[in-house]
Structure 1
Amino acid sequence: MPLRAFLFILILVTGIESLAKPCEVPAVVIDSISLTGNESTRSQVMLRELTFAPGDSIPAEALEPLLQENQKRLLNLRLFHFVNYTYTCAKGQVRVQFAVQERYYLYPIPIFDFADRNFNAWLEKKDWSRIDYGLNLIRRNFRGRNEEVRVRVQRGFNKRLELGYRIPYVWRKYNLGADFLVADYRSRTISYTNVNNRQRFYEQEEGMPIKRTSVAAALVHRQDVQRQAGLRLSFHDEDISDSVTLLNPEYYQRALQERQYMRLELYKAINRRNNFAYPTAGSYLEAGVAQTFFLHRSGSPFTTLRAKYVKYVPLSQKYTYMAGGEGQLRLAGKYAFADNIALGYRSLVRGYELYVVGGQHYALFKQGLTRQLLDIKSIKLKFIDNPKFNSIPLSLYLNGFTDAGYVADHAFEKGNPLTNRLLLGSGLGLHAVTFYDIVLRLEYTLNREGDRGLYFSARFPF
C-alpha cells in the first residue's frame, strides 16, 4: 500500500486531527500544502478556500488555530465527510497536508411530500390526494469544480419542473460566479384568500387554476465560502383562472388573470457559523433589496428590503445560546393579495404552524438554549462496502426556545385577527442531525392564543 494512502486511512480511522512535530522557533514559514483523498475535487477548489499559502510567515503559536480554522472552511464546502490535517516542522519550515473523504455527489432524491405549507397543515386535512411525488436529481461538485446541476421533476397535486445550474467561478480574477434557474409550476388548487388567518382554497375540477413560469440568472461575487454577494435578475409569468378573479378580484389587482414582471435583487450574506448544517458557534448575516417591475401595466411596482442576523454563543462544551432577528419591509402604492406574504411559510413564529399571517412588513425574533445530548461521529454499517455511505454520524440536541413576531398589514387585515398583533410562542424540542446534513426537529409548543401542539420539521429553525 502506498505510504500516502496508508497515512490517509490512518487519519480517518483514528480520527486524529493533528499529528505534528512541535515548532521550536518563534515564527514559521509555510513550505508546502498537499492534499489527499480528493479524487474528484480539483485541488484548486480546495486551495482557494485556504487563508494561507506557501511562503507565508506565521507566528508559531498561531499555526494550530490557523489550521483548525481552515479545516472548518474546507468542511463547510459541504463536499467532504471528513477533513483532517497533519503537519511537520523542520528548521522553521512547515509542510501541511489535508486529508479528506469525499461525499457521494449524485443525489437522486425521491419526492414524496405534502402539498401544504408544512406537515402539520397537511395533517389537519388528512387528504391523501394532497401529495406530491417525483424525483429531485442533484449533481454536486460537477466536473470537480464545486459546480451544481439541479433537475426537479414533480407530479401529483402540485406539478413542478425545474432546471438549475450553479458555477462558483466564471471569472476567477474577480471571484465571480453565476447561478441560473428555469422553473414551471402548476397546481390543482390555489389559496385565494385568508380568513381568520387560515388559507381558503379553490380547487378546479379540470385544468389548473394557477400557472407560474420563471427564468432567473444571478452574478455572484464569492469572496470565500463564508462571504458572498449577488445580483439576480428574474422574469416571471403568472396566470390564474377566471374563477379565482371572481372569488378575489384583488388577487392580482383589478381582476386581472395574468401578470408579467421583472425583479432585480441585490443581496449579501456573511456566514461565520462553525457548521452550516447545525451551528453551535459563530454568526450569520444576510441582507437584500429587490425592485419588482410589472410589464403591460399588470401591477404596481414595489420595493422589498429584508435582513436577518443570528448569533450563536457557546456557553460550554455542550450548551449553546442562540438569538437572532429577521425582518422585511415592502413598499408599494397598491398591493396585490398574491404578494401579501409575511409569516407562516418559510419564516414563522413556532406554535403558529397552522396559521398564515399575511402582510407587507414583519419582524421576527427567536432565541433558544441548546444542550447536546449525543454526538456519535460514525455509526459503521458493515453490510455496505462504500465508505461514502457506510459511516453515519448522529447528533441529538435538546432545545428550549421562545419566538416573537409582528406583522403589519394595511391592505388585507380584515378578518385576520393575528395581523397587527404581537405573536408569541415557546416550547421544547428534540433535534437530530445526521447523514448528509439532514436535520430533523420534533417540537412541542405553546403560543399566545393558548394553542398547544407537537410539530415536526426537517430543517434548521433559524
Structure 2
Amino acid sequence: MGQASVSYDSVKRKMEETVSQLPQEAAVRIINIQLSGHKVTKDYIVLREVSFTKGTVLPVKDLLKTIEKARLDIINTQLFLEVLPSLRIINEQEIEVFFVLKERWYIFPIPYFKVVDRNLNQWIVEQNASLERVNYGLKFNWENVSGRRDKLSFRYINGYSRQYLLSYEQPFADKKLEKGFLFSINYTSNRQASFATDSNKQVFYPANNNLINDFVRTTFKAEAGFSYRKGVKHRHYLRVGYVNERIADTISRIIQQNASKGYLPFFADNKTRQAFGEISYNYQYYDLDNIPYPLKGFAFNGTFLQRGLGAKGMNLWQFNGKAGRYITLGKKTYTSFYGVGTLKLPFNQPMYNMPAMGYGDLYMQGLEYYVIDGVMAGMLRTTIAQELFKVNVPTLFIKDEKYRKIPFRVLAKVYANIGGAYTPFYATGFLNNRLLYTYGAGLDILSYYDFTARIDYSFNQLGEKGLFLHVRKDF
C-alpha cells in the first residue's frame, strides 16, 4: 500500500527513542547498512535508492528524516509491500541501519477479464454492461525477473479484441545502474472501432453490440527504447516505434457520408490503412512519499511525440504534460493540485490523432460519459482529503505470513475540476471550445499492490449528477 502501517508506527516510535539517546548536536557515522527479508531482489538494487552509504556522516537531528526518506524511496520501487527501518547505536559516533523488507509476489499468471470502455459507468449505463464489450484471456506478468527490477509481460487476449503482446523492460542494464532498455511487440484486432464523435459521444462501428463479430480494426506495433535514471528523482525514456493500422472499408464510407456533420477522416485522405514510425521522449520527476497515491511532494511527467517520421499522411508533433503538488495539512488531512495538458501541431489532424478530453489521465470527474476531441486540452483538479480509518482484513484461507491480513485505508474527499478542449474547426460537440467545471465528494480506498478505488459523487455544469467508480491512479 505504501502508507505507514501499524507495525511501522511502532518501529518509528522505537527509532525515536533510540535517537533520543544520542547527543542532539552531534553527528554519527553509518558503519553498516543491513537488509533482510528479501529473497529475489538484489541488495544493490535496494541500496541505489538510499541517499546514504556505509561511511556517511549525518547530523543526529537529521537522522530520522533521512532514514524515513530512504524508506519511502525503497517503497517507491514498487517491489515491496512494506519496508521497516531500525537502527542500533554502536557508540555516540557510530550507528548501524537496518531495513526489513517484505517482498511482493512477482509472478502473476492470471486470467484476464477487462471491460474495454473508458470507465465502468460508460460500460454499465451506456452499453448495458454488455459482455460483448469485454476482453478475456491470459495475462502473465513477471516483475523483478532477475532481481534487478526488470519486467516481462505476455498477453493472449480474446473477446472484444484479440491481442498478442510480448514486452520486456530492464531499467538497470549497466554496472552503474543508470541505463536500461525495453522492447515490445503488440498485435491487436478489434471487433468494433470508435471512429468519430457526435454530441461528445463516441460513434462505433458496428453500432449495435449484437452485431460485433468480424474484426474491423487491426494494429501492429513494435517498439524499442532506452532509459536513463541517475539518482532517484529523475527518469528519462527515449522510444522508437513502428505502427501499421487498418480499418474496415465500411468505416471510411460512413465517414464520407457524414462529412457534413463534421466527421473527420480517420486517416488522412480517408484512407483505410496507415503505416508510420514514431519517436518519443519522456521525462519523469518524482519527489513523492508514495507514487501510486501521493500525499506529500511534487511530481511531473512530460512527453514529446513525433508521429509520422516522414510517412505520407501522418505528421503529428504532440506535447503532453501532467504535474501534481501534494501537501499534508495535518496528521490525517491532505490537499493536492493536479493538472494535465496536451498540445498537438499542426492543428489539421485526422481523427486518429484527435481524442483529447475523456481519455486516460485527461478526464474531469462528473463528465465520464462524454469525450471531447481537440488539438489543445487541459484540466486542473483540486482535492482535499481526510483519512477516516485503517483496517486489516484477515484473509483466512491464505497461510503466507505476508497476506494473512490485507490492509485497507479509507479517505473521504471533496474536489473540483476546471478545464476544456479546443477544436479549431467545426465539431459536433456542445462541450468543445468552452470552459468546463465539475465538483463533488467521495471516498478513496487503498490497499496492497497500488490498489486505489475512487468512488466519486460528481456534479457538472450541465445540471447532471451521479456516482462514478474509478480503479486507477494519476501517477
TM-score (normalizing by structure 1): 0.93
Q: 1:229 aligns with which of 232, 236, 247?
A: 236
Give distance in 2, aligned partners of 1:94 and 1:265. 46
Unaligned runs of 5+ in 2: 1-5, 257-264
Which AA in structure 2 matches 1:293?
Answer: G
Which residue is 1:38 aligned to?
Answer: 38
Going from structure 1 to structure 2, the CA distance change for 1:66 and 1:205 (only over 3 Å counts) comes to: closer
Render the CA deviation track for 1:33-76: whole Å, top value 9, x for unaligned: 11111111111111111101111121121112111110111111
Give distance in 1, aligned partners of 2:347 and 2:118. 29
Q: Does 1:112 align with 2:113?
A: yes
What SS is found at the alignment partner of 1:254?
Answer: helix
Q: Does 1:52 align with 2:65?
A: no
Q: Using the aligned pairs only, state the percent identity.
A: 24
What SS is found at the alignment partner of 1:62?
Answer: helix
Post-superposition shift, 1:430? 1.1
Instruction: Please provide the CA RMSD for this pair.
Output: 1.9
Give distance in 2, aligned partners of 1:206 and 1:37. 51
Q: Trace 1:421-436 onto structure 2 (pairs within 5 A).
A: 421-436=434-449
Give distance in 1, aligned partners of 2:118 and 2:289. 30
Q: Trace 1:39-438 onto structure 2 (pairs within 5 A).
A: 39-89=39-89, 90-123=91-124, 124-126=126-128, 127-173=130-176, 175-203=178-206, 207-249=214-256, 250-293=265-308, 296-297=311-312, 299-332=313-346, 334-346=348-360, 347-376=362-391, 378-411=392-425, 413-438=426-451
Structure 1 range deviating more: 246-255 or 64-73: 246-255
Give distance in 2, aligned partners of 1:92 and 1:454. 58
What SS is found at the alignment partner of 1:49?
Answer: coil
Give distance in 1, aligned partners of 2:116 and 2:378. 27
Structure 1 range deviating more: 166-175 or 75-84: 166-175
- Greater than 4 Å deviation, 4+ residue runs: 11-15
Render the CA deviation track for 1:68-122: whole Å, top value 9, x for unaligned: 1101111111111211112122140111111111111112343222221111111
Equivalenced residues, count: 449
Which AA in structure 2 matches 1:141?
Answer: N
Which AA in structure 1 matches 2:243?
Answer: H
Give distance in 1, aligned partners of 2:292 and 2:10. 21
Which residue is 1:8 aligned to?
Answer: none
Give distance in 2, aligned partners of 1:240 and 1:294. 21
CA contact (8 A) 1:192 1:247 kept: no
Give distance in 1, aligned partners of 2:413 and 2:49. 32
TM-score (normalizing by structure 2): 0.90
Which AA in structure 2 matches 1:197?
Answer: N
What SS is found at the alignment partner of 1:171?
Answer: coil
CA contact (8 A) 1:445 1:454 kept: yes
Render the CA deviation track for 1:123-176: whole Å, top value 9, x for unaligned: 122122212112222111112111111112211112222111111212233711
Render the CA deviation track for 1:275-317: whole Å, top value 9, x for unaligned: 12211111111112111125652x1312001211110111111
Render the CA deviation track for 1:208-240: whole Å, top value 9, x for unaligned: 110011111121111244321111111111011
Going from structure 1 to structure 2, the CA distance change for 1:15 and 1:138 (only over 3 Å counts) comes to: farther
Which AA in structure 2 matches 1:329?
Answer: L
Going from structure 1 to structure 2, the CA distance change for 1:367 and 1:237 (only over 3 Å counts) comes to: same
Which residue is 2:262 aligned to?
Answer: none
What SS is found at the alignment partner of 2:372?
Answer: coil
Which residue is 1:23 aligned to?
Answer: 22
Which AA in structure 1 matches 2:470?
Answer: S
